[in-house]
Amino acid sequence: MILYPAIDIRDGRAVRLIKGDYGRETRYDDDPVDAARRWTGDGADFLHVVDLDGARAGRPVNLESIRRIAEAVEAPVEVGGGLRSDDAVRELIEAGAARAVIGTAALMDPAFLDRVIAEHGPGSVVVSVDARGGDVSLAGWTESSGVDVADAVTDLTRRGVERFLYTPIEVDGTMEGPNLPELQRVAAATEAEVIASGGIGELRHLEDLAEAAPPNVEGVIVGRALYERRFTVQEAIRVLAGRDRADGGDG
């Protein structure tokens, strides 16, 4: 299982929000490149970056920061936030992102998702399904779609999506533990890979996740707990590697 340290960018800084609330922000690094170098220097093999300003604006805002991160580290980077047009995804990939994380547009504009997958390949596309109360949230977590998250995942899988990022907003940034029942429900709705996000606050949470997550949960995003030094990247990797050994996998 892969550890994805999170770097959320707002106003050019690395921050974290609680439950997706833009009014509840904690700033950690004035330059997000510092966070990227720290996490990869500690052993992270992949980074998860969110352009929070872009998520609100509906278009990428922090492309220069993303470009600098991609140039500063050897680990691949997946990036989301405001990717709602072909040009936006193209600019992001050109800036050095290995994967584009698409949220709102994947649900609202099926033709757009089809074009992105066709142009960049399914391996370069992650569809983010963020849910509040079991329903998919849209527009940077500010609107509810009324669509059940498991139903949305099933439908998107039929359309060719091979990797999802799932975030239950109620636990995001709280460090109170992941929502395992909902993660299991979402993972059961697809044969695609699923990246879990939200709620990790201590190593025990990672242990619980590694034990209870279905086999197609390929990784987990961790943000605030790493910034606040609840555990290290290396400690997290060791815990997650234990799941792979138990499954007979190689990493």
Domain range list for the chain: 2-247
Record the pTM: 0.90
pLDDT: which is higher, 172 or 158: 158
Q: Give the catalytic positions in this structure.
A: 8, 130
pLDDT tens, 23-57?
A: 665 778 889 999 999 999 999 999 999 999 998 88
Task: Report whether pLDDT(251) > 50.
Answer: no
Q: Tell me the chain's radius of gyration from C-alpha atoms.
A: 16
pLDDT tens, 196-225?
A: 999 999 999 999 999 999 999 999 999 989
CATH number for the domain formed by residue range(s) 2-247 = 3.20.20.70
Picking from 87-91, 130-134, 207-211, 222-226, which range would have the lowest pLDDT averaged per residue?
130-134
Query: Mean pLDDT throughout 102-121?
Result: 92
- Rounded to 10°, the helix 203-212/180-188 angle is 30
Collapse the DSSP code of 217 into the 3-class scheme (helix H, G, I; strand E, B; otherwise coil) and give the result.
strand
Residue 250: the pLDDT is 44
Could you give the count of Cα atoms lying within 13 Å of 157 in the half-sphere of its Cβ? 17
Evaluate whether 161 touches 199 at the Cβ level (below 8 Å).
no
